[in-house]
A = this chain, B = another copy of it.
């Protein structure tokens, strides 16, 4: 799966591993993430498989860098994967839900502190989607009109994050209220 995130990130222009890491920490952070070490290992595997090539670009000021470029085989693999119908829904792994589910022995104050802290974190994430990320996408599209089709998809992806965080914050508010009264 990281494979396709990287191929996707390379599908527009050749970039470095470092730039892909920034993509994974930035734009793609809310639907896929990875550590630097894993990115470089996956890039090596993709190069071995012939889905991308790389070459070193020497630089005077900054350290030399390795530029990765997607091959025709890589593009074909990516497009085939993108078109594959998904017959399942994405599984969730959420440590907060695990904790809540088993928290019957904890005292009320501990549970409430946990939920309130999460509320502030998710509220901040919601603001990020509504402001910084929304602005980023619209400036990107305005600067390059060739990205109109991409821009729509980025906006749709962003909107998923916004709606998901909205629902999560609403759920936390509900949960806090119920715990206060019934726990």
| Stretch among A45-53, A56-64, A85-93 lining the B interface | A85-93
A118-B160 in contact given A31-B98, A104-B153 (Cβ < 8 Å): no
Q: Per-position contact with B for A63-95: 1 when CB-CB < 8 Å, else 0?
A: 000000000000000110111011111111111
CB-CB < 8 A to A104: which residues of B? 149-150, 153
Give complex CA distance A119, B106 in Å.
Answer: 38
CB-CB < 8 A to A117: which residues of B? 85-87
Q: Per-position contact with B for A104-125: 1 when CB-CB < 8 Å, else 0?
A: 1110001001100110011001
CB-CB < 8 A to A103: which residues of B? 82, 153
A102-B11 in contact given A86-B114, A93-B90 (Cβ < 8 Å): yes
Asked if A125 contacts B89 (CB within 8 A), the reply is yes
Asked if A98 contacts B8 (CB within 8 A), the reply is yes
| Complex partner residue of A94 from B31, B97, B121, CB under 8 angstroms | B31
CB-CB < 8 A to A94: which residues of B? 31-32, 90, 160
CB-CB < 8 A to A175: which residues of B? 156, 159-160
CB distance from A82 to the nearest CB of B (A): 5
CB distance from A124 to the nearest CB of B (A): 9
Asked if B156 contacts A160 (CB within 8 A), the reply is no
CB-CB < 8 A to A85: which residues of B? 113-114, 117
CB-CB < 8 A to A157: which residues of B? 97, 100-101
Q: Is A55 located at the chain interface by the 8 A CB criterion?
A: no
Interface of chain A residues 25 through 61 with chain B (CB within 8 A)? 27-33
Give complex CA distance A154, B182 in Å.
Answer: 13
8 A/B residue pairs, CB under 8 Å, sorted by A? A78-B102, A83-B110, A87-B121, A89-B118, A92-B164, A100-B156, A152-B183, A164-B168
